[in-house]
Chain A
Amino acid sequence: MNDPGVLELLRTRFVPYALDNVENPNLTPAERDFLTGFDSGIKACTIGMSAFTADGRKLASGGGYEAKSVRSLLEKALAAFDPGSVSATVPPRDEAAVAALRRAPEGSLTLYVTWKLLEEFPAEGSATTGNGQYDRVFQRSLGSDRLWVRKDEAEALAAGSLPESLKARIFRYHVQYVLSKDAKGLEVSLKDGRIEGSVPVGEERAECLGFVEAKEGRLTRFELLVRGRARRVEDHGFSACLSVIPKGQAVPVALFFELADPADGLAGILPHRARDSRYLK
């Protein structure tokens, strides 16, 4: 998905749309009916790519981890696409239905969360990574997710303090996920715009450094980097690079949190853990 040719096609010739089809489906009943009304790709496997018209006709499906297969899907879709034949009236989202969906709370902010291995090593794949075929692709991948910051937490940050509730959620949903259950807490503090501290992990410590800035009472920057060692996480591919860490080993990793632009489409994709009933507590 980082191939320049693929990116150029997606940027100029398609409207890209991302759907979590199981955990946090951001679909109203009417939207789900639309996608299930034709072979859209929603019924697929745990991961898939497809292209279709705005009025509900499939153009192509397939893709995968390699640029060649994605490009093939896109070219096939473009060959089958006739913009002049597309006719539809797209109804606005039903407000009541939207209100019933999991959504970011009023006044909240979103952090992008990413993680990446810092060294190469002999990867240990699985069925998820094609039993070796895509081990290196996974190993070099950047895992990503999002984290909601409540309005009161954002206000506290802008005022110069790092709320314990936010530290707890950063730790519970992301730090512990990447550094393993041996991680025992996010022991960091915020002073004069710097976040410093560490995470105890067994007999070691992962190091932390971050920065907070605010302007006119509004948070304008939140960045936190955690550097430590990760263990294998098999999570149907969601764990990205963590999928291929050999069992029983710990390898260097970095985890990063960054304030998202609320206007960015990616920021609107629900966090993976948002389905947890205590997600915002």
Chain B
Amino acid sequence: MRILAAALALLPAGLTDAEFQKLRPELRLKSRGWASLPWRATLTDARESALREKKPVFMMVDTGNPIGFA
């Protein structure tokens, strides 16, 4: 019995629903303002939108992950 109790004590307590709900908003991509922008994934889309809306294109360039840094 003592061995079982000791073994159980070594198990991780586990994430609770309350902890999940607390962390979730901080981790959701859409919690960041920049993620709510209407990013285009292709240059052609960006150019077509820019012509139609009479706006310049803003290009974010990165190696491996253009918006990996938020």
Contact = CB atoms under 8 A, between A and B. Distances in A.
Given A31-B42, A114-B29, A144-B67, A81 B59 contact: no
Interface in A9-51: 10-11, 13-24, 26-28, 31, 34-35, 40-42, 44, 46-51
A265 B41 contact: yes
A209 interface: yes
Contacts of A240: 68-70
Interface string A123-160: 00000000000000010011111000000000000000
A269 B45 CA distance: 13
A212 B55 CA distance: 40
A174 interface: no
B48 to A, nearest CB: 5
Given A41-B61, A209-B14, A16 B56 contact: no
Contacts of A7: 33-34, 36-37
Given A88-B47, A144-B67, A236-B63, A256 B57 contact: no
A34 B12 CA distance: 54
Interface in B15-55: 15-17, 19-20, 23-24, 26-29, 31-51, 53-55
A72 interface: no
Interface of B: 12-17, 19-20, 23-24, 26-29, 31-51, 53-70
| Shortest beta-carbon contacts, A-B, top 5 | A268-B41, A256-B27, A17-B46, A18-B66, A209-B15
